[in-house]
C-alpha cells in the first residue's frame, strides 16, 4: 500500500465521520450521549464487531 492510498482512506474516514454532525447535529448529540451511557463491555463488543466487519470488508475487496 502506498501513502496515497493510506491518506485517501483516512480522508474518507473523516468525510464519513463528519457527515452526521453536519447534517443533523441534534441527532448526533443524542446518539453520543447514549453511547456515553454504555458500559465498558458493551463498548468493547461494538468495537470488536466494527473491527471484524472492517476486516471482512477489506478481505472481500482485496
* Predicted pLDDT at 27: 95
Q: Which three cell numbers stand for residue 57?
A: 470488508
Concatenated DSSP letters of the chain: --HHHHHHHHHHHHHHHHHHHHH-HHHHHHHHHHHHTS-HHHHHHHHHHHHHHHHHHHHHH-
pLDDT at 25: 96
Question: What pLDDT band is residue 12 in, cutting at 50, 70 and 90?
Answer: very high
Per the prediction, the chain carries an average pLDDT of: 93
Model confidence band, residue 61 (pLDDT cutoffs 50, 70, 90): confident
Residue 42, pLDDT > 80, answer: yes
In terms of pTM, does the model score above 0.75? no
For the chain, give every domain's residue range. 3-61
Amino acid at each position: 500500500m502506498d501513502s496515497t492510498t493510506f491518506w485517501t482512506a483516512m480522508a474518507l474516514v473523516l468525510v464519513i465521520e463528519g457527515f452526521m454532525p453536519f447534517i443533523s447535529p441534534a441527532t448526533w448529540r443524542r446518539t453520543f450521549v447514549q453511547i456515553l451511557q454504555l458500559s465498558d463491555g458493551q463498548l468493547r463488543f461494538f468495537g470488536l464487531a466494527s473491527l471484524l466487519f472492517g476486516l471482512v470488508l477489506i478481505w472481500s475487496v482485496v
